[in-house]
């Protein structure tokens, strides 16, 4: 490979087909998009639009017990992800591409301390010793804003609030300094006051670690100030794409307009064109 590719993630004609009782249904319909290194991109749409499935496609994570057929091309740093074996994919997950999920309450293993859950990530992908891993774990916990990280590392998930658990999960996700961080509705399950904190944390980490960010949400309000470009999804298709400011000012597609109208604004008298 000569020279680094300009695009970090290049997706072409991605399709995802669920099979239930032998009846197939297409949830993502030949979409294409790009993410450049260090870029922040948003995916907006209501539930069922296929945005979460798209995120799972990049990680190739089908939900347990169901089978999804992926089609199209997903090129990450020049490598075709859909051609990789499951074993090779495991080397990519967590190390090069990491993910933060929606519900922090159920996302941590209840019988392991939070420290152990960051340690095992570090040991697995960077091969350091347990002691070195724990040192780094404490640094990471501090990085995401957890007080007394040394002590807290030995605590169990049920001893943390929802917002704190999400911080831990973010720590896990960035621990190996991935090139791309996918955040699937990272604040939806959190209190409003905590939401802003988490979003700010994501922004800060992205800046400091130079990661690209793929932010999935149904809430246009979350997108504002977080990403540079947006893809709007509906019914498994990308209906509109563009720079954030442009989209806010002049949404072209009827659906985008509807989504924007749903966001409570300070200038309540003015409605988008």
List contacts with another protein (CB under 8 A). 21-22, 59, 61, 63-65, 67, 89-95, 98-99, 101, 103, 105-112, 120-121, 124-125, 156-158, 169, 172
Nearer to another protein, 114 or 232 (CB): 114
3-class SS of residue 19: strand
Contact 213, 128 (CB under 8 A): no
Nearer to another protein, 150 or 161 (CB): 161
Nearer to another protein, 112 or 130 (CB): 112
Smallest separation, CB 124 to another protein (Å): 6
* Residue of 92, 30, 56 lying closest to 184 (CA atoms): 56
d(CA 54, CA 51): 5
CB contact set of 251 (below 8 Å; sequence gap of 6+): 240, 257, 260, 272, 273
Smallest separation, CB 76 to another protein (Å): 14
Query: What does 96-154 look like in DSSP terms, one character per residue?
Result: TEEEE-S-GGGSS-TTS-HHHHHHHHHHHHH---HHHHHHHHHHHHHHTT-SSHHHHTT
Nearer to another protein, 54 or 256 (CB): 54
Q: How many CB atoms lie within 10 A of CB 64?
A: 5
Nearer to another protein, 118 or 247 (CB): 118
Smallest separation, CB 20 to another protein (Å): 10
Nearer to another protein, 120 or 228 (CB): 120
d(CA 201, CA 203): 5
Smallest separation, CB 96 to another protein (Å): 9
d(CA 181, CA 40): 9
């Amino acid at each position: 490979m000569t020279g680094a590719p300009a695009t970090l993630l290049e997706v072409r004609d991605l399709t995802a087909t669920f099979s239930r009782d032998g009846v197939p249904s297409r949830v993502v319909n030949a979409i294409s998009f790009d993410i450049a290194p260090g870029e922040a991109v948003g995916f907006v749409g209501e539930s069922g639009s296929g945005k979460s499935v798209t995120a799972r496609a990049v990680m190739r994570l089908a939900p347990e017990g169901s089978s999804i057929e992926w089609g199209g091309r997903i090129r990450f740093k020049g490598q075709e992800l859909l051609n990789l074996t499951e074993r090779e994919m495991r080397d990519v997950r967590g190390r090069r591409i990491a993910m933060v999920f929606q519900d922090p309450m159920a996302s941590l293993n209840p019988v392991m301390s939070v420290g152990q859950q960051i340690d095992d990530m570090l040991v697995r992908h960077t091969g350091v010793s347990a002691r070195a891993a724990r040192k780094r774990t404490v640094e990471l916990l501090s990085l995401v804003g957890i007080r007394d990280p040394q002590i807290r590392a030995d605590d169990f998930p049920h001893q943390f609030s929802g917002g704190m658990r999400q911080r831990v999960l973010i720590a896990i996700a960035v621990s190996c300094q991935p090139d791309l961080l996918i955040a699937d509705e990272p604040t939806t399950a959190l209190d409003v006051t905590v939401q802003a904190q988490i979003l700010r944390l994501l922004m800060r980490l992205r800046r400091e670690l130079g990661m690209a960010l793929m932010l999935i949400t149904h809430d246009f309000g979350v997108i504002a100030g977080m990403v540079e470009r947006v893809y709007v999804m509906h019914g498994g298709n990308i209906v509109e794409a563009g720079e954030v400011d442009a989209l806010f000012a002049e949404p072209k597609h009827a659906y985008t307009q509807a989504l924007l109208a749903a966001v409570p604004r300070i200038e309540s008298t003015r409605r988008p064109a």
